[in-house]
Amino acid sequence: MDVLLILKFLIALALGALIGIERERKKEGAEFAGVRTFILIAILGTISAYLSQDFPYFWIVSFAGLVVLVGLSYLVTTRKNDDVGITTEIAAFLTFVLGMLCFADEGMLLAPILAIIITTLLAIKPHLHQFAHRVSEKELINTLKFLIIAFVILPILPDEVMGPLAVFNPFQIWLMVVFISAISFTGYILMKIIGPEKSLGVTGIVGGLVSSTAVATSMAARVKESGLLMKAAVFATVVASSMMFLRILFEVSVINPALLPKLSAPMMVMGVLGIILGIFVWRRTEVRQMDADLKLDNPFSLKPALIFGALFLAILFLSKIANIYLGSSGVYLASIISGVADVDAITISMALLAPDTISNNTAVTAITLAAISNTVFKFLITLFLGTRKFARNIGIIFLVVILAGLITIFVL
């Protein structure tokens, strides 16, 4: 007896049961399929793939029969319930395909992944509808514009160095724009789904993925409105800023993992220490929720993407010129200045330039200085847009975090 063949049928049975249980829970009225039906459909798919080895068109006949049965059931259901939804019917067709996929050796691994994704999409229907209603027309249009530029324009850009100093690579530069925007967009989607008003923890962590500067600006304004929100706003600001250090680590791990052994220490120290201090403040406050009124621009709009691309290119040129004429000290100066505007641009620039143009040590120090520069800039935001007490609390925590980072650099 072929043990592998039995395993394939068992996997198909399990996947059919997984989708079927979800549909059974949502079953209303006269809908045709529950858990048993979905199990049988999955097994039918696997049997069809098996028999198609000897009878090549058997799977077509099986699928056609399934289409007829599901179609007839759909007609009966719509007449009885006056419901024109076809989600369960589509799920049935996908379950048949998953059953067939289980028969293929590589499909055994792919089918469970697809089944989990399909079941998740079916289960989170209310959240998806809620999210769809939250998306504005402007956000949708901006997203579509960027997707066209990312997946239509990007592939046709020349992947070669051109121009002076050999730093201008159109494909590479725009790829980095897509990469950074994708990170920000992930946080943006989470914020849209969860809502910034749900929890300060969400505001700090997810807001830090999108823009820690935006979080600091928003919290400064909230504190100015009400001093009762002081500790809560400090927590959100500190956690968002700490997430920036962890975000830098992720970016470098993708672009130039060779920098991680030396960069991980200062970034982890500053990031983890900031989160610990933020949690300490959190435990001392009774205000755990508030309307953060956090305004985050859609990171997939075209204008911010173009601005980031231009800034990224300018930093590449500036860093290389500074390294040629001033050495590592020039790179450090450029990093400090650039970090005020955008820490992502300088991080990726240093990761790309090392080790060919600058040494790994110089790149690590420059990225750390840029992160510190950005942190100081956020403190200035809290000072000028918030209250003195808020700025003092933020300043003390930021000072401890920065000193810890600098000490880590010099010690290691």
Question: Exposed, middle or buried by CB within 10 Å (0-12, 13-18, 19+), for 6?
Answer: exposed
Higher pLDDT, 280 or 226: 280
Q: Are residues 140 and 211 in the same domain?
A: yes
pLDDT at residue 286 in the model: 58
CA 202 to each of CA 59, 75, 210, 215: distance values in angstroms, whole numbers, following the listed order? 48, 45, 12, 11
Mean pLDDT, rounded, for 263-280: 92
Provide, rounded to the nearest whole percent, the portion of the chain with pLDDT above 90: 32
Higher pLDDT, 47 or 151: 47
pLDDT in tens, 68-118: 988 888 887 777 766 667 888 899 999 999 999 999 988 888 999 999 999
Q: Are residues 82 and 116 in the same domain?
A: yes
Residue 128 belongs to a domain: no
Domain that holds residue 67: 3-123
Among 204, 197, 201, 216, which Cα is nearest to 377's? 216
Radius of gyration of the chain (CA): 27
Of 94, 123, 152, the last residue of a domain is: 123
Residue 131 belongs to a domain: no
C-alpha 221: how far from chain center: 27
Q: Are residues 119 and 148 in the same domain?
A: no
Q: Are residues 119 and 156 in the same domain?
A: no
pLDDT in tens, 323-363: 777 788 888 988 888 888 788 888 998 999 888 888 998 99
297-313 burial, b at 16+ Cβ within 10 Å, e below that, comes to ebbbbeebbeebbebbb
Of 71, 99, 123, the last residue of a domain is: 123
pLDDT at residue 191 in the model: 64
Higher pLDDT, 13 or 305: 13
pLDDT in tens, 175-189: 877 877 776 677 667
| The token pair that represents 256 in the structure block | 């130039």
Residue 15 has pLDDT above 90, yes or no: yes
Q: How many domains does the chain have?
A: 2
Higher pLDDT, 169 or 100: 100
Amino acid at 173: I
Q: Which of 88-92, 199-203, 293-297, 396-400 has the lowest mean pLDDT?
A: 293-297
pLDDT at residue 222 in the model: 76
In this prediction, residue 314 has a pLDDT band, given cuts at 50, 70 and 90, of: confident
In this prediction, residue 292 has a pLDDT band, given cuts at 50, 70 and 90, of: very low
Residue 130 belongs to a domain: no
In this prediction, residue 294 has a pLDDT band, given cuts at 50, 70 and 90, of: low
Q: Are residues 243 and 190 in the same domain?
A: yes
pLDDT at residue 270 in the model: 94
